[in-house]
Structures are given as structure tokens and as C-alpha cells.
Structure 1
Amino acid sequence: MPLPPARQLSRPARYALLALGHAAFITGLIGAFLPVLPTVIFWIVAAWAFGHASPALQARLFAIPGAGRHVEAWLLRGEISRRGKCFAAGGMLAGWLSIGWIMHWDPLLLIPVGLLMSGVAIWLWRKSEPDFSGASTAPDESIQCPVFTGSDSEKRD
């Protein structure tokens, strides 16, 4: 399902979305090197913000080797890879165990948090998985936000 066509935004709204996109992208980049900070969720926020402010920047984010296709699969089709599901479930389990250890295994906290995380895990594992076989890292031309292919004036964004 392609993104809807871009609409005209006021200059302040566009700059605010670009600032949000850049902040989220940089936070995700930091998360690529720090195990306690996630990467893909911040890049999903960045792709959303860039998609509304600058389709060319969104296409560049989708073209990042390794992570871009996962962000694109989630934003355009709501798909999550099996590896992503495993990492997310493992992160939730590690978070639940950390909360238990820090809060001295208080059941009044652990039971509701565990139920919430279990619900998220069930939802997560029911999401469809993308088929990356034969996928290239180039932006998909069927998306309505590819890197502009027209004249130089259209390429500037």
C-alpha cells in the first residue's frame, strides 16, 4: 500500500517535521551502537516525518542497507521480519526481567507489565512477515516517494 501523495505544508510545519526526522534519525543512529537504545523505531519515526516533509529524504532512509527495507516494510505494508520479532520479544523479556530485578520482584508491578508485554508480543507475532528474497536495496519505484528522477530543479528538496 503506497503512501498517500504528499500535501502542501506550511514552511514552519515542514521545518518542524524535518527537525523531528533528523532528531529521530540521529537517535536511531546512536542506538545502532548502544545496545540499550533501539534503532529501527526511531528510523520509523524519521521515515514518517521525512515522508510528510520530504519524500526524497524518506526514499534515502528506505535505501539504507540492512535497516531501510525493514522500515519500508513496516511503514508501507505493516510487515515485521522474523528476526525483528525475535529481537523485539527478547527486548521485552529483558525489560521485564530488569523491572523485576530493580523492583525486587514485586508482583503488583510485574503482573500488569507482564500482561501488557504479553499482549504486545501476541500482536507482534501475528503481524505478517516481509519476503526479502530477491529484494534490492534500491528504493521501490512503485512507492510514491522515490528519489526524484526529473530535472535538477525537482531533485532539490
Structure 2
Amino acid sequence: MKGKRILLLILGWLSLITGVIGIFLPLLPTTPLVLLAAWCFSKSSARFHAWLLNHKFFGPIVKDWQSSDGIPRRSRNRAILFMWAGMAISTFLVWRFWATIGLVFIGVCVSIYLLRMPLRSEPTKPLQPKPIEEKDKAS
């Protein structure tokens, strides 16, 4: 059992490090790797899992995924847009027929998955009071 725990810890850290690199490299996905790291840490280390959940940048990703509330519409639409943009760039750079077919197939499957996910209502911004102008103060 200890070997499995160590293997999951190593996989979790490799996944998280690769996800961080993915922030800067357009073809490397960040979110799935962070979610994989969260799963690995949940099975191997409560301390690292709690750290990831409370992380300033990665915590909201993991919390949104683990909650059953769904994802915000804006995040879903942005994910679909950037995914297709990245795949279009990849297609033009590689320009191989089978790679294009593979990317389109993956893109369609992921898009269907994201479109079928429940949407969480986003909190509305409270209305800000209109500033009082100098003319109004005098009266």
C-alpha cells in the first residue's frame, strides 16, 4: 500500500508541474492536469490535497470540479473557444490529415461533454450607487 501511495504522490506532483508548464505552452492543457493532481493527492496525501484546494490559483478549479453545482457559463464558453482556437492553430502548424481528424474528433467529444454539464448561476454584481454630482450637493 505504501508503494501505491508514493506512486500517486509522484504522479500528482508530475501532473501539477506539467499543468503549471501548460500555463505557458499553448498545446499543454492545464486544467485536466491540475484535476489529475487533485485526484492523486486525494488518494495519497490529505495534506497536499488540502494545500491544492486552498491554493490561490488552482483551488477554485478543483473546487468547481468537485462541487455538483456545475460550471459557470462564461468559463464553459471560454474553455470551448480556447480549445477550438488551440486545435485550429495546431492543425495549421502540423497539417497532417490524421492529426486533423483526431483533433476534430477530440474537440467534438469534449465540446459535447462541456455543453452537457450543468451550469451554475453566476452571482450578479450588486448595483453601485450613482455618485452624487456637485450640482446635486448644493441643492
Query: How does the TM-score come out when normalised to structure 2?
Result: 0.69
Q: 2:76 aligned with 1:120, yes or no?
A: no
Residue 32 of structure 1 aligns to a residue in which SS? helix
The 5 A counterparts of 1:86-97 are: 86-97=77-88
1:45 is aligned to: 36
1:103 is aligned to: 95
Inter-CA distance 18–33: structure 2 relative to 1 (3 Å threshold): same
- Structure 1 or 2: larger helix share? 2
1:69 is aligned to: 60
Alignment gaps of 5+ in structure 1 = 1-9, 134-157
1:18 is aligned to: 9
Count of matched residue pairs = 123
Amino acid at match of 1:127: M
Asked whether the equivalents of residues 72 and 120 of structure 2 are also in contact (C-alpha less than 8 Å), the reply is yes
2:76 is aligned to: 85
Inter-CA distance 115–53: structure 2 relative to 1 (3 Å threshold): closer
Asked whether the equivalents of residues 62 and 68 of structure 1 are also in contact (C-alpha less than 8 Å), the reply is yes
Highest Rg: 1 or 2?
2
Instruction: Indicate which of 105, 119, 129 corresponds to 2:119.
Output: 129
Alpha-carbon RMSD across the aligned residues, in angstroms, is 2.8
Asked whether the equivalents of residues 26 and 86 of structure 2 are also in contact (C-alpha less than 8 Å), the reply is no
Kindly provide the CA deviation profile for residues 38-97 of structure 1, in whole angstroms up to 9, marking residues without a partner as x: 222111000000000012211110111233122122134373333432332123312442
Identity of aligned residues (%): 31
